[in-house]
């Protein structure tokens, strides 16, 4: 097989905005996971995860901050580059951090271009509903696919008065629905629904033509997303909606303890692990 044929065959199997739209039409759920580096991007891509999100959650799980607010555009760009190198099939979505789009649509377009051009992202995600609809429209006009994010938006932690479930009560439900409709009308190709009651997740999913991607938004969303550290059991604490599919934190601790023990007792390196 020629190189050209191989390259085009690979491209055909890539996850795209069109293939995700088709998954919604066929009612076939898809998956998104966060990733922040080459190694995990490669593992998740090979495992069949459809979308890798370079989330600004890197502020929490990589940098050790309490919120995502300190994360910079250059930091997300840097992590996106690493993730993009590890991927053959998955779509890479780069999160637009706090401060990279709030000033206005022009700033938003400039930031989105950086994430695509320097980071290698296939799409960008930004938090907000009606308030960011103009920015969504302008980024899409620059030919960059936009994933929106409504409900509990962590960059609004100070405004919300904490990380609180959104969309409760008639007024709360109305706000989330209006936000989701606004970003769809602005041209977003998908929308993350975070921290809302499951029945509202279902209602929004049925109402929208674009795929919904839930995190703490119930089983009826078109797709699900988790932060990789939660999925793998690398965090001390996880929210109640998280299911831990692995226990890598405990395994890493055990491996490090064994290493320390063997080195201090001169058991490592042994004959097998020494050059002759």
The reply to whether 194 belongs to the active site is yes
Give how many residues touch ligand KIV by CB under 6 A. 11
The least CB distance from residue 90 to ligand KIV, in Å, is 15
Q: Which is nearer to ligand KIV, 67 or 268 (CB)?
A: 67
Q: Which is nearer to ligand KIV, 99 or 268 (CB)?
A: 99
Residue 227 makes contact with ligand KIV by CB under 6 A = yes
Residue 225 binding ligand KIV, by CB under 6 A = yes
Q: Alpha-carbon distance 187 to 190, whole Å?
A: 9
Nearer Cβ to ligand KIV (144/221)? 221
Please state the closest distance from residue 257 (CB atom) to ligand KIV, in A.
30
CB of 150 to ligand KIV, least distance (A): 11
Q: Of 53 and 234, which CB lies nearer to ligand KIV in the complex structure?
A: 53
From 132, 133, 215, 221, residue interacting with ligand KIV (rule: CB under 6 A): 215
Secondary structure of residue 147 in the 3-state scheme:
strand
What is the x/- site pattern for ligand KIV, positions 35-54, by CB under 6 A?
Answer: ------------------x-
Q: H-type helices in the chain, by residue range?
A: 3-12, 17-25, 38-46, 58-61, 73-85, 105-117, 133-141, 157-160, 169-185, 198-207, 228-231, 248-264
Q: Specify whether the CB–CB gap between 143 and 121 falls below 8 A.
A: no
Torsion of CA 205, 210, 213, 217, to 10 degrees: -20
| 95 interacts with ligand KIV by CB under 6 A | yes
With respect to ligand KIV, which residue has the nearer C-beta, 246 or 269?
246
Task: Give the number of C-alpha atoms closer than 13 A to the C-alpha of residue 39, restricted to the C-beta side.
Answer: 0
Region 173-202 residues binding ligand KIV, contact defined as CB under 6 A: 192, 194
Q: Which of 46, 75, 178, 194 is catalytic?
A: 194
Three-class DSSP category at 214? strand
**Interstrand relation of 223-226 and 146-151 (parallel, antiparallel or unpaired):** unpaired
Dihedral sign computed on CA atoms, order 175, 181, 185, 187: positive
CB of 75 to ligand KIV, least distance (A): 12
* Helix, strand, coil percent content, the chain, rounded in steps of 5: 45, 15, 40
What does the binding site for ligand KIV look like in residue numbers (CB under 6 A)?
34, 53, 55-57, 95, 192, 194, 215, 225, 227
- The residues annotated as belonging to the active site are 194
């Amino acid at each position: 097989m020629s190189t050209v044929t191989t390259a085009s065959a690979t491209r055909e199997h890539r996850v795209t905005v069109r293939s995700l739209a088709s998954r919604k039409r066929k009612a076939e759920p898809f998956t998104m996971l966060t990733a922040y580096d080459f190694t995990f991007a490669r593992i998740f891509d090979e495992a069949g995860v459809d979308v890798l999100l370079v989330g600004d959650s890197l502020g929490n799980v990589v940098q050790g901050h309490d919120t995502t607010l300190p994360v910079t555009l250059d930091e997300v760009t840097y992590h996106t580059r690493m993730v993009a190198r590890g991927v053959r099939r998955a779509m890479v979505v780069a999160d637009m951090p706090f401060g990279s789009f709030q000033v206005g649509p022009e700033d938003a377009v400039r930031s989105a271009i950086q994430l695509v051009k320097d980071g290698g992202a296939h799409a960008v995600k930004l938090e907000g509903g009606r308030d960011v609809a103009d920015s969504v429209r302008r980024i899409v006009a620059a030919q960059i696919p936009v994933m929106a994010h409504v409900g509990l938006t962590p960059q609004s932690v100070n405004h919300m008065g904490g990380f609180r479930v959104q969309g409760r009560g008639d007024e709360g439900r109305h706000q989330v629905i209006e936000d989701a409709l606004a970003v769809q009308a602005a041209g977003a190709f998908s929308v993350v629904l975070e921290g809302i009651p499951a029945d509202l997740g279902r209602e929004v999913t049925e109402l929208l033509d674009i795929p919904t991607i839930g995190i703490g938004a119930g089983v009826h969303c078109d797709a699900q997303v988790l932060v990789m550290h939660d999925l793998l059991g690398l965090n001390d604490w996880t929210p109640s909606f998280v299911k831990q599919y692995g226990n890598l934190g405990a395994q890493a601790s055990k491996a490090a303890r064994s290493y320390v023990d063997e080195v201090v007792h001169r058991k490592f390196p042994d004959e097998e692990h020494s050059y002759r």
